[in-house]
Amino acid sequence: MTYRVCLVCMGNICRSPMAEVVLRATLAEHGLDEVQVDSAGTGDWHVGGPMDQRAAQTLAEHGYDGSAHRARQFTGDWFARYDLVLAMDTANLRTLRRLAPAGQEVRLFRSFDPSAPAEAEVPDPYYGGQDGFDEVLRQVKAASEGLAKHLADELR
């Protein structure tokens, strides 16, 4: 059985692709090979383009490879493909909830980080400096660990 997760931000070039790469590696470390991870954006500005260079560089500096990423746009029909859809922030959470069929659960990604406050977001680093990308990486690593533990309990 395959379990599918989609991580969603605004343009799918910074936060959600970083989270996709980190979550995929974290799940592999936990032996959760049955979980597939994708990412997408709610907007279409960057569709087909690579990950933001700063995001890719931050990942590379920590041993992750984001070079294969190409931005995609999440649309309402995607809900049928995924068991879990996770938003990086409340603005994208609202957008996803408007697109979602009745009864579809959509959550914030950081809700899986036990050290994060309720309604914690992964902030958009796009208009800031390198420290924003470093913070995003720290946050997605923590949420990825929490999600991996959750899925290990849920799927086993």
Active-site residues: which are they? 9, 15, 124
How much is the CA Rg of the chain, to the nearest whole Å?
A: 14
CB environment 129-152: b (16+ within 10 A), e (fewer): eeebbeebbebbbbbbbbbbeebe
Distance CA 131, CA 20 (A): 20
